[in-house]
């Protein structure tokens, strides 16, 4: 069974990015990401109504990190490490099965620049080599073609397609599930 320990918090540096712990100061950027219709178009979750709700989300995430239940990183650029431009993390970690779901989002200003692929590859590496996961899965709205392409470029394979398995805002939505196994 996995033995999780995210203390001290594991920062990750890549060529262009710093994956760091989210702080209360990230609330304005998190509020933008989680309330912007463009960013949230295919993320079927309720939107925060205020920066206070975004702050509460950050604090809840950090509590799960402190309790070694999940991990989420703020994505920042080396040249501006204090500004969150996105996030990525493992949640629904199933310790006894060495499996976790990964999720991510990115400010639209940075779409199409390879930022999320760089963050995703770094997170995958951490998941397999540090957490010791055996498999990583991603659940996406199948209409989100860009996310499906990103996952496939990172080596994920679409393993399942569930028809109308998710109910959100009065309608049933399909889910595509991608998976990647440790090499």
Buried b / exposed e along 63-101 (16+ C-beta atoms within 10 A):
ebbeeebbbbbbbbeeeeeeebbbbbbbeebeeeebbbb
- Confidence category of residue 10, pLDDT binned at 50, 70, 90: very high
What pLDDT is attached to residue 2? Answer: 96
pLDDT for res 125: 98
Contact 33, 76 (CB under 8 A): no
- How large is the C-alpha radius of gyration of the chain? 16
Nearest CA among 7, 8, 64, 62 for reference residue 30: 62
| Residue 48 per-residue DSSP state | P
Round to whole Å and give the CA distance between 83 and 80.
Answer: 6
Average pLDDT for the chain: 97
Nearest to 115 by CA among 83, 85, 143, 151: 85
What distance in Å separates the CA atoms of residue 156 and residue 180, rounded to the nearest whole number?
A: 5
What does the pLDDT average to over 91-100? 97
- State what percent of residues in the chain have pLDDT above 70: 100
The two three-digit tokens of residue 87, written as one number: 């996030």
Residue 62 neighbours by CB under 8 Å, 6+ apart: 21, 22
Question: Is 178 strand, coil or helix?
Answer: strand
pLDDT tens digits, 70-83 = 999 999 999 999 99
Q: What is the DSSP string of 85-126?
A: -EEEEEEEEEGGGTEEEEEEEE-GGGTTTTHHHHHHHHHHHH
> Residue 36's pLDDT is what?
97
What is the set of domains in the chain, with CATH numbers?
Answer: 12-181 (3.40.630.30)
Q: What is the pLDDT of residue 89?
A: 98
The whole-number pLDDT of residue 35 equals: 97
Which tens digit of pLDDT belongs to each residue from 119-176? 999 999 999 999 999 999 999 999 999 999 999 999 999 999 999 999 999 999 999 9
| Lookup: tokens for 136 | 């990583």
């Amino acid at each position: 069974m996995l033995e999780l320990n995210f203390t001290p918090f594991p920062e990750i540096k890549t060529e262009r990015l710093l994956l760091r712990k989210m702080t209360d100061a990230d609330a304005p950027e998190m509020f933008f990401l989680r309330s912007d219709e463009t960013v949230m178009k295919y993320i079927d979750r309720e939107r925060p109504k205020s920066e206070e709700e975004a702050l509460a989300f950050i604090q809840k995430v950090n509590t799960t990190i402190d309790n070694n239940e999940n991990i989420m990183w703020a994505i920042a650029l080396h040249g501006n490490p204090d500004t969150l431009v996105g996030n990525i993390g493992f949640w629904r970690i199933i310790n006894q099965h060495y499996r976790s779901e990964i999720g991510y989002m990115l400010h639209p200003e940075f779409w199409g620049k390879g930022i999320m692929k760089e963050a995703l590859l770094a997170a995958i590496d951490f998941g397999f080599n540090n957490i010791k996961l055996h498999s990583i899965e991603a659940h996406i709205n199948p209409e989100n073609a860009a996310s499906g392409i990103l996952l496939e470029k990172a080596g994920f394979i679409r393993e399942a397609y569930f028809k109308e398995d998710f109910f959100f805002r009065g309608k049933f939505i399909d889910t595509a599930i991608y998976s990647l196994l440790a090499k």
